């Protein structure tokens, strides 16, 4: 049992910046070594603060403690998902708490499980690469499309040219044209589908 | 280029998690498409977290229960890092990230991927319009709406509020010109008649909490039935 270890740390006044660095280091130790002492430090700092945040939001002592418990359990179990390059420990822990609160409220209000916090703020998801990115464009080659290319709407032509002639990635194009990545993908798809249609007509 | 964004108030409510789920979904999907708002959300989240979890003095809320809680938590095993390859295959099978209409395929922003399975069938409405309902399980109604080139929604105003996200294409409504990624909020103060002249038409995702109210011409005849269409 670790009863009594953690909370001594609490009253030492640490500067915010140092606090982030210090807490970051502890989280890394928790992730790598399952270090209970480091976790106790993190817990000692954040649990009371989380509770006062939760009390304000939920107005209920028992729910607030449940929120602290769930949040800190996630921190313990999923410390390997913390990435200090993406944000500070307080940001990471806050987003976990906010997501749990969002789902708690949903449950209280008896809503169906249709929009859950993970969809909105995927903070505890392992990152997976985009799956079906390449599927369609492999089926058509530039040679096949040749002169048909000219019949495409201007916007689709620009995107296809950037991909197939200038060899840019869809992300680069999105950044350059200041349009969303999804739009680039859609335009690519639409253009390729259209070309495919033209090719089968032409055949 | 995206010109219409959620208001700062909406972003703040989204960040703190107090915005209603349907609205949150719209803001989240907009952020998938809009780097500006994505960065703003990140900044606001960090600020809010800092104010509440770092600056906040905690001395007053010390509670002996915490010792027990800490002991319990550290008894728990770490979560197994998931097997990447397996997860990928599973998700690939489970999740299509696009929707199709009339041979066209549209890539959806990430936050809306889960809606692909909840989407009903496309039905054809008046004026080169297509609609596919989505059951969000909340009050209010969500639809994908596709306007073919030249397609028009009859002029209408709103009894409640209407949130629209342009997923692909362009349309104008007599007040403004909207492009992919634009986030549009309308309420009873706004009367508009959306129309798309884009060669590939325009796909939007829209959530309304009350039926639309048509304001002009023969479309007024639709009003008694407007809860059936354009909901």
Q: List chain B domain ranges.
A: 8-75, 96-225
Contact B84 A128 (CB under 8 A): yes
User: What is the tens place of the pLDDT at every residue in A97-123?
Assistant: 999 998 888 777 665 556 777 777 777
How many structural domains compose chain A? 2
Any domain includes A130: no
Q: Give pLDDT, residue A27.
A: 94
Of the ranges A15-19, A58-62, B216-220, the best mean pLDDT one: A58-62
Q: Please report whether residue A51 resides in a domain.
A: yes
Query: What b/e string do you get for B116-142 counting C-beta neighbours within 10 Å, with b at 16 or more?
Result: eeebeebeebeebbbbbbbebebebbb
Model confidence at B22, in pLDDT bands (50, 70, 90)? Answer: confident
Could you say which residues from 14 to 53 on chain A have a Cβ atom under 8 Å away from some Cβ of chain B? 16, 19-20, 34, 36, 39-40, 43, 45-53
Q: Are residues A171 and A145 in the same domain?
A: yes
CATH number at residue A52: 1.10.1740.10
Q: What is the span of the domain harbouring residue A162?
A: 137-202
Which ipTM value was assigned to this complex?
A: 0.81
Q: Are A111 and B21 in contact (CB under 8 A)?
A: yes
**pLDDT 10s digits, B157-177:** 877 788 999 999 999 988 899
Find which of B43, B58, B112 to mutate to test the A interface (most A CBs within 10 Å of its CB).
Answer: B58
pLDDT in tens, A157-196: 888 778 776 777 888 888 888 888 888 888 888 887 777 6
Whether A154 and A98 share a structural domain: no
Position A33 in a domain: yes
B166 close to A (CB below 8 A) = no
User: Is pLDDT above 50 for A140?
Assistant: no
Residue B152 banded pLDDT, cuts 50, 70, 90: confident
Which of 38-57 (B) contact A at CB < 8 A?
42, 45-46, 48-50, 52-56
* CA-closest candidate to residue B62, choices A8, A37, A157: A8
CATH code 2.60.120.10 for B96-225: yes
**Strand, coil or helix: what is B17?**
coil
In whole angstroms, what is the distance from residue B19 CA to residue B25 CA? 9
Task: Residue A149: give its domain's CATH number.
Answer: 1.10.10.10
Q: Which of A93, A120, A147 is the last residue of a domain?
A: A120
Domain assignment present for A151: yes
Give the chain A residue nearest B107 (alpha carbons): A186
- Of A30, A23, A107, nearest to A63 by C-alpha is A107
- A112 with A15, same domain: the answer is yes
Residue B152 φ/ψ, nearest 5 degrees: -135, 140
pLDDT value for B49: 93
Same domain, A97 and A44: yes
pLDDT tens per residue, range B49-82: 998 888 866 655 567 889 999 999 999 887 766 5
pLDDT at A120: 78
User: Given pLDDT bands bounded at 50, 70 and 90, which one contains residue A130?
Assistant: very low
pLDDT of residue A133: 40
pLDDT at B90: 52
pLDDT at B160: 78
Q: How confident is the model at residue B221 (pLDDT cuts 50, 70, 90)?
A: low
B29-49 per-position pLDDT tens digit: 999 999 999 999 999 999 999
In-domain check, residue A131: no
Closest CA to B169 of B92, B104, B80: B104
């Amino acid at each position: 049992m670790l009863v009594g270890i953690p909370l001594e740390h609490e009253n030492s006044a640490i500067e915010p910046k140092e606090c982030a660095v210090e807490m970051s280091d502890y989280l890394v130790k928790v992730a790598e070594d399952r270090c209970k002492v480091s976790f106790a430090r993190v817990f000692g700092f954040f649990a009371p603060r989380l509770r006062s945040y939760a009390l304000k939001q939920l107005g209920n002592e028992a729910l607030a403690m449940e929120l602290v418990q769930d949040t800190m359990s996630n921190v313990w179990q999923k410390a390997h998902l913390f990435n200090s390059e993406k944000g500070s420990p307080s940001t990471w822990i806050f987003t976990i708490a906010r997501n749990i609160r969002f789902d708690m409220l949903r449950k209280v209000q008896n809503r169906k499980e249709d929009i859950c916090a993970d969809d909105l703020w995927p903070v505890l998801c392992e990152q997976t690469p985009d799956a079906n990115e390449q599927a369609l464009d492999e089926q058509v080659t530039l040679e096949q499309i040749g002169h048909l290319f000219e019949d495409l709407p201007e916007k689709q032509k620009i995107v296809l040219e950037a991909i197939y002639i200038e060899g840019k990635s869809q992300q680069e194009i999105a950044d350059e044209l200041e349009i969303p990545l999804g739009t680039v993908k859609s335009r690519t798809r639409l253009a390729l589908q259209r070309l495919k249609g033209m090719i089968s007509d032409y055949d | 280029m995206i010109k219409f964004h959620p208001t700062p108030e909406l972003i703040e409510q989204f960040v703190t998690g107090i915005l209603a789920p349907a609205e949150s979904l719209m803001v989240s999907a907009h952020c998938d498409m809009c780097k500006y708002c994505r960065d703003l959300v990140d900044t606001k989240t960090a600020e809010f977290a800092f104010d509440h979890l770092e600056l906040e003095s905690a001395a007053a809320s010390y509670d002996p229960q915490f010792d027990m809680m800490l002991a319990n938590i550290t008894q728990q095993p770490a979560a197994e890092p998931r097997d990447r390859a397996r997860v990928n295959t599973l998700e690939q099978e489970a999740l299509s990230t696009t929707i199709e209409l009339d041979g066209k395929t549209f890539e959806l922003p990430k936050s809306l991927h889960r809606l692909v399975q909840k989407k009903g069938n496309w039905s054809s409405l008046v004026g080169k319009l297509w609609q596919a309902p989505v059951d969000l399980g909340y009050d209010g109604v969500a639809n994908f709406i596709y306007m073919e080139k030249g397609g028009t929604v009859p002029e209408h105003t709103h009894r409640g509020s209407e949130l629209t996200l342009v997923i692909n294409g362009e349309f104008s409504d007599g007040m403004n010109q909207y492009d992919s990624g634009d986030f549009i909020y309308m309420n009873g103060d706004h009367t508009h008649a959306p129309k798309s002249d884009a060669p590939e038409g325009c796909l939007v995702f829209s959530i309304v909490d009350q039926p639309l109210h048509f304001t002009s011409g023969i479309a007024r005849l639709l009003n008694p039935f407007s809860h059936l269409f354009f909901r």
